[in-house]
Amino acid sequence: MPGTTDASDFSLSPGEQALVSVPSMGSPLAHLPDEAFENLLVVSAKASPAKVESLVERRGGDPEKVGVIPVTGSQVEYDGPLWTADSVDPSDLTGISIRLSTALRYVMRGGWVVFDSLNVLLMYGREDRVYRLVDSVVSNVRAKDACGAYCVVREAVTDETYSRFRDRCDVAVSVE
């Protein structure tokens, strides 16, 4: 079982996957290394594309190198430099998987895939289905030699749920 590292900022090697404990408020994007913004795909259940764009710019990144899959039950209106997929409801794990498969074509070796909130998916879907989605994504991201960060508010999930996702990742990091 991987250990947990406390870090305000963290980095990963190409192909490495991390379960990242994050505070309930705030964005995990604030803790990514600078190089993550060179080729980044965000599966975002916490922030709109406009907010992701703002966070990327605050970190000095180029929004044109970032893609977003908005996970929300609402229609998303965004006309900016980020590449965005059509929004997908958090209960539609198949839809998330399809959009992610399409978007992964643009993630290169050393690029990053970030799920900003597994907690939202767990609120709308059964744990075993969310786990299967994450398991598949981890395999696909690892096969592309890209970095993966799967964010969870630690105190909002059971120890068993946390351990199950942690076991699938190479490292566990806390940025709280």
Nearest Cα residue to 151 out of 174, 126, 123? 174
**DSSP state for residue 61 in the 8-state scheme:** -
Nearest Cα residue to 35 out of 52, 16, 68, 13? 13
Average pLDDT over residues 80-93: 96
- The pTM of this model reads 0.93
Predicted local distance difference test score (pLDDT) of residue 50: 96
Q: Which residue has the tokens 């096969």?
A: 143
The distance of Cα 110 from the centroid of its chain, to the nearest Å, equals 15
Domains of the chain in start order, with CATH, are 4-174 (3.40.50.300)
Predicted local distance difference test score (pLDDT) of residue 1: 40
Assess contact for 154 and 174: CB atoms under 8 A: yes
Confidence category of residue 7, pLDDT binned at 50, 70, 90: low
Task: Encode pLDDT of 121-142 as tens digits.
Answer: 999 999 999 999 999 999 999 9
Assess contact for 50 and 80: CB atoms under 8 A: yes
Confidence category of residue 2, pLDDT binned at 50, 70, 90: very low
